[in-house]
């Protein structure tokens, strides 16, 4: 764990970085947040587990709220008492992994069949 003082971004800087780098995230009440909509409980659990794995690997832990068909992720650096580079970096990694659509990227991995409710997973923002 680092003992160096981390840079805390002010609200205007956070809004600017979100607009440029994480347009589906928002700043609200001192947290950067993103709600991921799912097709149901199975998808919700998959998103929670993905976020949990990434957060633990990064050693930077978000607050997570979940319901049947959504997961909300909230990030803030508690030690620094604000939004830091750790929050932005973890948000980018969460966004990259949760929103990964192999079927849209081409290649051998076709992705889950979204039209079939038995396999639908995340409701992607197109």
Q: What does the alpha-carbon distance between residue 119 and residue 115 come to, in Å, rounded to a whole number?
A: 8
Contact 50, 90 (CB under 8 A): no
- The pTM assigned to this predicted structure is 0.92
Picking from 91, 95, 88, 73, the residue whose alpha carbon sits closest to that of residue 9 is 88
Closest CA to 82 of 18, 9, 27: 9
* Residue 22 domain-assigned (yes or no): no
pLDDT in tens, 74-125: 999 999 999 999 999 999 999 999 999 888 888 899 888 878 878 888 888 8
Q: Does residue 69 lie in a domain region?
A: yes
- Cα distances from 41 to residues 32, 45, 49, in angstroms, run 24, 6, 12
**CATH for 77:** 3.30.1360.20
pLDDT of amino acid 1: 53
Nearest alpha-carbon partner for 73 in 116, 40, 120, 25: 25
Total domains in the chain come to 1
Q: Is residue 122 domain-resident?
A: no
């Amino acid at each position: 764990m680092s003992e160096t003082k981390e840079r805390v971004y002010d609200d205007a800087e956070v809004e600017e970085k979100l607009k440029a780098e994480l347009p589906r995230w928002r700043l609200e009440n001192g947290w950067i947040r993103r709600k991921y909509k799912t097709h149901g409980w199975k998808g919700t659990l998959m998103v929670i587990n993905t976020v949990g794995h990434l957060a633990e690997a990064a050693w930077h832990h978000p607050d997570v709220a979940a319901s049947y068909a959504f997961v909300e992720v909230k990030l803030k650096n508690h030690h620094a008492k604000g939004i830091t580079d750790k929050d932005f970096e973890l948000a980018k990694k969460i966004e990259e992994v949760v929103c990964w659509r192999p079927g849209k990227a081409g290649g051998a991995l076709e992705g889950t069949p979204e039209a079939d409710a038995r396999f639908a997973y995340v409701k992607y923002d197109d």
